[in-house]
Structure 1
Amino acid sequence: MSTESNKAIVRRFYEEVFNQRNVDLIDELVSPEFNNNDPTPVASRDPESMKQFIHTITMAFPDHHHQIEDLIAEGDRVVMRCTLTATHKGRFPGFLEMPPTGNSICQRQIHILRVQNHQIVEHWVVRDDMAMMQQLGVLPTGISV
């Protein structure tokens, strides 16, 4: 597979699955052997749990949107730098058990995805969760690492 086709798969995944909530597309774009290296307890571990994750994040953040800033590919890996924007309107079981704040978030993220046979088979992510928690009022602002 070419790096351009790998980038197209990742773009479709975020634009159509996450941003447009087309969970049926997960069966096409995500391998049954999918391995998610996201340490978050609620992170999806296979295509079926990914469908539930999209539903859960949409209940907590109905307007969530990943704005893709960069897609860089080499071999079977695609790196995506993006900005997640959303408004906290519901509970996020396993992660944000607090009542909805109504606050908006703007979170920087970097994802690395491995693509094989036209499907995403592995995922790693780095997110600015501290900034998100500050924006939601869970942590005081002015704290940095």
Structure 2
Amino acid sequence: MSEHTIRNKAIVERLVDEVLNGGNLDLIDQLYTPELSPGARAWIAPFRASFPDVQMEIVELIAEGNTVVGRFTCTATHTGTWHGHPPTGHRFNKIDEVNLYRFHNGLINETWTLEDNLERLTQLGLLPTD
């Protein structure tokens, strides 16, 4: 595995451990390109405000060249407004997520995410029953 590939995986690990789980939003500007960091902050900050106890678990990271693909599970308690939904106090557990990160000059410059939001909404009790 090349030095760049190892570095890129370490950046994703820092993103999960220190930003998503740890709440260190100041680190976003050190992990993302200047063009992408405002967008990253725009989704991470409100998500953490809605789910401050969020815990992302890295299930697997696969890296090749300038790309890292991660499989994660996400667990948290809904204590703040999320997408217009007032806090339920309910917890979602081990929601599957897959993220693809592309890097340029040692920073994340592109992301693509697939999340099981149907299961997340179901566990939070936010889906209509009829």
Number of the residue aligned with 1:137: 125
C-alpha distance in 2, partners of 1:84/1:130?
Answer: 13
C-alpha distance in 2, partners of 1:115/1:65?
Answer: 24
Moved more, 47-56 or 79-88: 47-56
Number of the residue aligned with 1:83: 73
Number of the residue aligned with 2:33: 31
Percent of residue pairs identical: 42
Number of the residue aligned with 2:88: 101
* Residues 24-45 of structure 1 deviation map (CA, whole Å, 9 limit, x = unaligned): 11111100132xxxxxxxxxxx
C-alpha distance in 1, partners of 2:121/2:41?
Answer: 24
TM-score when scaled to structure 2? Answer: 0.88
C-alpha distance in 1, partners of 2:42/2:113?
Answer: 19
Match of 2:114 among 126, 129, 134: 126
The answer to whether the Cα contact below 8 Å between 1:89 and 1:102 also exists between their aligned partners in 2 is yes
TM-score when scaled to structure 1? Answer: 0.80
Number of the residue aligned with 2:5: 3
Unaligned runs of 5+ in 1: 35-46
Match of 1:20 among 19, 22, 32: 22
Equivalenced residue count is: 126
Query: RMSD of aligned C-alpha atoms?
Result: 1.6
The answer to whether the Cα contact below 8 Å between 1:80 and 1:112 also exists between their aligned partners in 2 is yes
C-alpha distance in 1, partners of 2:38/2:98?
Answer: 23
Number of the residue aligned with 1:112: 100
